[in-house]
Amino acid sequence: MPGFLADLTGSFATSAAQNPTVVVMEAAYAHAELDIRYINCEVPPERLGDAVRGAVGMGWLGFNCSIPHKVAILDYLDAMAASAGIIGAVNCVINRDGHLTGENTDGQGFVASLRTVIDPTGVDMVVLGAGGAARAIAVESALAGARSITIVNRTRKRGEELAALVADRTPAQSSYVPWDGAYVVPESTAVLVNATSIGFQPSVDIPDVAPSSIRPGLVVADVVANPPDTAFLQLAQAQGAITLQGLGMLVNQALTNARLWTGRDLDADVMHRALTASLLP
């Protein structure tokens, strides 16, 4: 007799309709012949507790938390991974018999993607932005061995807080630089990361960076996955830089989520193809 009860995973977010992870995860589960579903749930902030209790009551393997729940979810956890504790935000929760552990796989996904083009050990990085993605990327890159992380942000308070967090809680050096006009990328920089939402479809805006300071050999990464080849990456490529799309971060994040929930390594190529197809116009 076939089984009629699948294991459950999913995501809690607002707005959930913008999240393509459901396509990625269900394609990977099906390819691995795993009887697991990924349910994309619209959960407003005032109902997060209800959603968490429901997931525990139904025996979910775990779930993702996206905007605006990555900090609020901390109130419902029993434990946190070390790097998630430093970042102060969680996007992946693992359920083991009602015991909830929080991980932050955003930064881990970025570092795994970054390693396909450069080893972060000993490099100088510049991160544009100081929001949730920037925090995860800066902390995980520092823990992966980056020598220095420069935080470039328009709001001084948030930029200084993130730089202090990295300097105090990781082995890397870190400093804040105000984003006032076109930012000139220092020649010592090996990796430049747009960790803002600038350039997300349908926008064709570009982060305010002096094009002449984007040189051949510089790695330029963008967390924006839709469109995959952002206007910023196109500019960087025209300047001779090595570019890294946001798709890689999303796929590696999904791979890590699945490993935490199932103990299995799923197929990255299957995930990448499903994600790319879901973002085509």
What pLDDT score does 2 carry? 59
List Cβ neighbours of 93 (8 Å cut-off, separation of 6 or more): 52, 62, 63, 64, 65, 73, 77, 100, 101, 102, 103
- pTM flag (> 0.85): yes
Indicate if 108-244 has the same CATH topology as 7-103+248-279. Answer: yes
Structure confidence at residue 3 (pLDDT): 76
Q: Could you confirm whether domain 7-103+248-279 is CATH 3.40.50.720?
A: no
Which residue out of 69, 70, 135, 272 is catalytically annotated?
70
CB 235 within 8 A of CB 210: no
Rounded Cα distance between 176 and 109, Å, is 24
pLDDT at 166: 98
Cα(141)–Cα(220) distance, integer angstroms = 14
Which of the 8 DSSP states describes residue 118? -
Instruction: Show pLDDT as tens, one digit a residue, over the chain (281 residues).
Output: 457 899 999 999 998 887 889 999 999 999 999 999 999 999 999 999 999 999 999 999 999 998 889 999 999 999 999 999 999 999 999 999 999 999 999 999 999 999 999 999 999 999 999 998 999 999 999 999 999 999 999 999 999 999 999 999 999 999 999 999 999 999 999 999 999 989 887 778 899 999 999 999 999 999 998 889 999 999 999 999 999 999 999 999 999 999 999 999 999 999 999 999 988 76
Question: 157 catalytic, yes or no?
Answer: no
Residue of 104, 105, 6, 18 lying closest to 58 (CA atoms): 6
Evaluate whether the domain defined by 108-244 bears CATH number 3.40.50.300: no
CB 163 within 8 A of CB 151: yes
- The CA distances from residue 45 to 14, 49, 69, in Å, are 8, 9, 7
Locate the domains of the chain by residue range: 7-103+248-279, 108-244
